[in-house]
Structure 1
Amino acid sequence: MRAVLQRVRRAKVVVTESTVGEIAHGWLVLLGVGPNDTQKAVDWLAEKVANLRAFDDANGKMNLSVQDVNGSVLVVSQFTLYGDCAKGRRPSFIGAAQPTVAETLYEAFVTALKLLGVPVATGRFGADMQVELVNDGPVTFVLDSPAQMEAQS
């Protein structure tokens, strides 16, 4: 799995002019699923997102998790994170999981975050979405699950 985490002051997802997911302070997670991802990757990534200490403490140091600051997570599916632009002028998406697999693991990731006690909002899987955000910092991280990192080596 691959995720882009953006620390936000607020974020929302709009589908056909209707807001389908919205949060205040927390993480916007753009989530891509690879063809070899499993529940193990879901659990690893959910734990990492819930507990990554990248929010400022009283001294302005990145020392608190999204849970410590009573934040939320907005999860948006984004298969283009597996786009390969190395050859030609058009990206190839053969590195992304098939939609049925990706949707199942996307939903499992949302569930895993909720089970960890994190308030979660979502986009709509497979929809044409407009994502609005106010990046806080800016602070942005790219996370690859261990299986993804092994596949790249």
Structure 2
Amino acid sequence: MWLVTICLLALMTTTAYRPLLDSTIATADPAMVLLAWLALIDRMPRIFVAMTIIGLLRIWFGIAEIPDTFVPLLAVIVSVRLLRQYLDPYHPLKRFQILIPALLVGVILQWILLTGGLVGATELVLWSLLLSVVIAGLLLPILDLMTPLLRSARYPL
């Protein structure tokens, strides 16, 4: 069930975010939020399967090349795993303190890979932070309802 959900979400965001990514506007899309949420609560093999599926679907639909696709996703996973060692992932507000900086790292890294620099970085950081907060705020309660479907997940609720 979780694999179907990830595939459908990655497929929908691949087609929906293609014009944004082609115009080099950095966005924290729902598939990246889903991957960050999985990195927060699940085991590494399942996280890497989800990252591979999301990345391959994005490459297949022609959003970006291999480094442009997988490096930001890997940065989000590493950031979440590092931050969850210092912050309590079981507290609802502290989960935002883990996920929002991790999504911001992924978005900024994606911007650097697509444009080659940090020109206009202040506006990028502000808009990316706002988008990350809004999308994570909308998706996290829905994703938390899906947690019982992940039988191997560590329940941070």
Normalising to structure 2: TM-score of the pair? Answer: 0.32
- Structure 1 or 2: larger helix share? 2
Q: Greater RCO between the two (CA within 8 Å, min separation 6)?
A: 1
Higher Cα radius of gyration = 1
- Structure 1 or 2: larger strand share? 1
